[in-house]
Amino acid sequence: MDGLRDPMCICGQVANLCLRTGNDVDNPQRLAEHGFVVANTIELSRPLVGSDEVAAVTRVLLSGQLAGGPEVAQFEEEFAGYCGAAHGIAVGNGTVALELGLRALGIGPGDEVVVPSFTFIATANAVRMVGATPVFADIDPATMCLSPATVEPRLTTATKAVIAVHLFGHPAPCDMLDELCKAHGCVLLEDAAQALGARWHDRHVGTFGALGTFSFYPTKAVTTGEGGMVITDDDELAQRLRLLRNHGAAARHHHTTVGTNQRMSDIAAAMGRVQLTKLEAHNRARRALAARYHEVLHPVVDVPTTAPGALHAYHQYTIRVANRERMCAALERAGVGYGLYYPRPCHLQPSFAPQARLAVTEGAARRVLSIPIRPDLSPADCDTVVQAVLDGAR
């Protein structure tokens, strides 16, 4: 089952339900009998977890090998193969994927790393966690991602890396950013947490820089509950990452460097493997919804643009509106879930020292609003969302 019409999509209660229904998880009537109520709102996102994932996780549970088994290596190989990278290194989450990536590249105190401010705080926090200094760059007004024009003025002699974020599923122009980094003598990392399946000129995001990172949090296109992945073509970097995530252990009882435990469990990996098989179908469904939204909404609100050469993954469908309060009220009246990503950019967060103002970022933060673009959204729900946005824009 591809998960689009899988009643287990009201998940969070999978194991419980299996116990209570005797694994009869694909039957809507049984779900209702067991008291599972689908919320009356059109949720912004929810994990699409079905009986295939339940079976895979159950298989691992019954195998007795919950960690250190074959599932993690298989997931890594399948994931890297899907993206077209030589190595996949599975870790505990997308934040730590970035943090270990920076550490593996030797970035630390005294180093500057250029990052967008218009991103989830994890991108900047990872830089702080390795002791380096995040330097915030503004975004391109059309794509809301970094561009060479916004990064270049931020480069200094202390810059060791740039982290491009493929925001909302739209690829940043990584070939150009990588060229800029190489010319400056620093490295590009790609934070592709929101963009699994997105391509830039037919090449998967995450494969342009020294490494790319992904998140498998429940709102993401592939989820393992919590989880993350680093991909790279660099054999030595991959080896360092494998050491860092496992206490620096080159062999049992032999620790060649200081590391931590950020391994993925076989339970999570088994779930991720199933999720990965559904990704392309889910992303196609997201793009079809985006086309529908675009057609109807572009005369009334700023719809997301797609740069030439980009294949958007539509992790979010983020519109920009003049009167966000009015739009929020209309969506709430219609029972449509929405998200504000991100109302306060990183450079204005109290956890960071006062920074230079970023005009495009701050403008976007005031106007953005994300509406549901779940692959399982029904045509009727899609119509409800469209109508609510039209009402809110009036």
Ligand X SMILES: Cc1ncc(COP(=O)(O)O)c(C=O)c1O
Residue 193 vs 311, nearer CB to ligand X: 193
Which parts of 211-358 fold into alpha helices (H)? Answer: 235-244, 266-297, 324-334
DSSP state of 259: -
d(CA 237, CA 169): 26
User: Which residues inside 141-180 make contact with ligand X, applying CB under 6 A?
Assistant: 165
| DSSP class per residue in 81-132 | HHHT-SEEEEES-HHHHHHHHHHHTT--TT-EEEEESSS-THHHHHHHHTT-
Is 170 in contact with 306 (CB distance < 8 Å)? yes
Cβ 337 to ligand X, closest distance in Å? 17
User: Considering only 136-144, 188-196, 284-292, 304-312, which stretch makes contact with ligand X by CB under 6 A?
Assistant: 188-196
Q: Find the part of the chain contacting ligand X (CB under 6 A) among 156-164, 186-194, 254-262, 377-385.
A: 186-194
- Build a one-symbol-per-residue string for 46-85: x at contacts with ligand X by CB under 6 A, - elsewhere: ----------------------------------------
Which one of 16-24, 75-83, 91-99, 230-238 is the stretch in contact with ligand X (CB under 6 A)? 91-99
Nearer to ligand X, 7 or 169 (CB): 169
Cα–Cα–Cα angle for 282, 283, 286, rounded to 5 degrees? 90
- The pair of structure tokens assigned to 315 is 């992790």
59-to-14, 15, 56, 75 alpha-carbon distances in Å: 15, 13, 5, 15
Nearest residue (CB) to ligand X, 79 versus 120: 120
SS3 302: strand
* CA distances from residue 208 to 25, 84, 232 in whole angstroms, order as listed: 41, 11, 9
CB nearest ligand X: which residue? 94
Within 284-343, the residues that bind ligand X by CB under 6 A are none
Q: Please say whether the beta carbons of 212 and 90 come within 8 A.
A: no
Task: Pick the closer one to ligand X by CB: 144 or 165.
Answer: 165
Shortest distance in whole angstroms from residue 315 CB to ligand X = 8
Q: Is 51 exposed, middle or buried (0-12, 13-18, 19+ CB in 10 A)?
A: buried
Among 51, 143, 150, 194, binds ligand X (CB under 6 A): 194
Smallest distance, Å, CB 276 to ligand X?
16
Q: By C-beta, is 51 or 215 nearer to ligand X?
A: 215
> Please, which residues have CB within 8 angstroms of residue 8's CB and are 6 or more apart in sequence?
14, 17, 25, 26, 49, 50, 51, 53, 54
Residues touching ligand X, count (CB under 6 A): 14
Residue pair 126/105 in contact (Cβ under 8 Å)? The answer is: no
Contact 245, 263 (CB under 8 A): yes
Residues 102-131 within binding reach of ligand X (CB under 6 A):
119-120, 122-123
CB of 193 to ligand X, least distance (A): 3
Decide: is 262 part of the binding site for ligand X (CB under 6 A).
no
Instruction: Compare residues 207 and 215 and give the one whose CB is closer to ligand X.
Output: 215
Q: Which of residues 215-244 bind ligand X (CB under 6 A)?
A: 215, 217, 228
The residues of the shown chain that bind ligand X, judged by CB under 6 A, are 93-95, 119-120, 122-123, 165, 191, 193-194, 215, 217, 228
